[in-house]
Amino acid sequence: MIVTVTMNAAIDRTLTVPNFQRGQRHRASQGLTLAGGKGINIARALKQLGVPVVATGLAGGKTGTRIVEELTAEAILNDFVRIEDESRTSTAIVDPTGGSYTEVNEWGPHVSEDELKILLEKLVYLSRGAEYVVFAGSLPRGVDEGFYAEAIRDLNRRGVLTVLDSDGEPLRLGTHAEPFLVSPNEREAESLVGQEFHDDEDFLDGLEAVAELGARNVLITCESGCWGLLRADREVHRYRAVAPRLDPMSAVGSGDALLAGFIAARLEQRSDEEALRAAVAAGAASTLELGAGRFEPREAGRLVASVDAAQLEPAAR
């Protein structure tokens, strides 16, 4: 079983607005409302891949009730801590004609120490039957930026594999806690290591830098696919996996689907290259549908053969 943790869960509304222009009145051609937040998106993608998953985290107010109801309607097992403050609502506007999307995210609720304590106790309970615990997304107000690091260290001591996908200071502190896998996107990784990535050598240097901060394995996701630093039998291997060219509907949540695809493949004990191909194929398939974490597994399976994955030499020093 996989446990995903969404600290800042949301109701995500995605509107399709052709020829979207700021300051103009538009009529959406399509709308979709789902429970959201990165951990929930990953849980949705894992379920579509047939992986047993439980989504947990924090949910508050009427919005929190709706989040739980939406998850239950999708048959995604969930066990959220109910908090007093209201969970957030987020809106994404997708313009298929311009290939762009615009996101508006609320801050989210304020969380008390007692509510966090309950969540940590729940994680101890849920992790007893878990292969991986995935921490994903931002932290709401009132939560110390070292929360992920604290939780990861505790689970590491319990022998549970931990995965982290966040940004900013929570990502940096969490990486120092030595999670099994860290999976930032390109922008988040650049911020974490303090340099921009312009070429292959920059990405390889970035992988090494994130690993040196404490991550045992690293995936850096990007528009074209992903880069990976993966350890096996005390050896370190570096990879690049490139997605096939598609005509995307929306790239929102593609990194979440990619991470889910990688975890699912690792559970099946596939090789590193096979896992990366499956991951990038899932991420690519998700760009063909609206809604983060949604994709057709058969489409992902069809795309696997089109993913170019190769092992690379270490960056030159």
**CB 301 within 8 Å of CB 234:** no
pLDDT tens-place values along the chain, 317 residues long = 999 999 999 999 888 888 888 888 888 877 888 999 999 999 999 999 999 999 999 999 999 999 999 999 999 999 999 999 999 998 888 787 777 778 788 888 999 999 999 999 999 999 998 999 999 999 999 899 999 999 999 999 999 999 999 999 999 999 999 999 999 999 999 999 999 999 999 999 999 999 999 999 999 999 889 999 999 878 999 999 999 988 877 777 899 999 999 999 999 999 999 999 999 999 999 999 888 899 999 999 999 999 999 998 765 55
Distance between CA 256 and CA 272 in Å, rounded? 18
Residue 256's SS3 state is helix
Tell me the backbone φ, ψ of residue 263, rounded to 5 degrees. Answer: -65, -45
Amino acid identity, position 105: N
CATH topology classification for 2-312: UDP-N-acetylmuramoyl-L-alanine:D-glutamate ligase (3.40.1190)
Tell me the backbone φ, ψ of residue 152, rounded to 5 degrees. Answer: -65, -45
Residue 257's SS3 state is helix
State the Rg of the chain over Cα.
Answer: 19
End-to-end CA distance of the chain: give it in Å, rounded.
41
Q: What is the model's pLDDT at position 255?
A: 94
Q: What is the model's pLDDT at position 248?
A: 79
Q: What is the model's pLDDT at position 157?
A: 95
Domain-wise residue ranges, the chain: 2-312
DSSP string, the chain: -EEEEETT-EEEEEEE-TT--TTS----SEEEEEEESHHHHHHHHHHHTT--EEEEEEEEHHHHHHHHHHHHHTT--B-PEEESSPPEEEEEEEETTTTEEEEEE----B--HHHHHHHHHHHHHHHTT-SEEEEESPPPBTS-TTHHHHHHHHHHHTT-EEEEE--HHHHHHHHHT--SEE--BHHHHHHHHTS---SHHHHHHHHHHHHHHT-SSEEEEETTEEEEEEEETTEEEEEEEEPPP---S--TTHHHHHHHHHHHHHHTT--HHHHHHHHHHHHHHHTTSSSTT---HHHHHHHGGG-EEEEEPPPP-
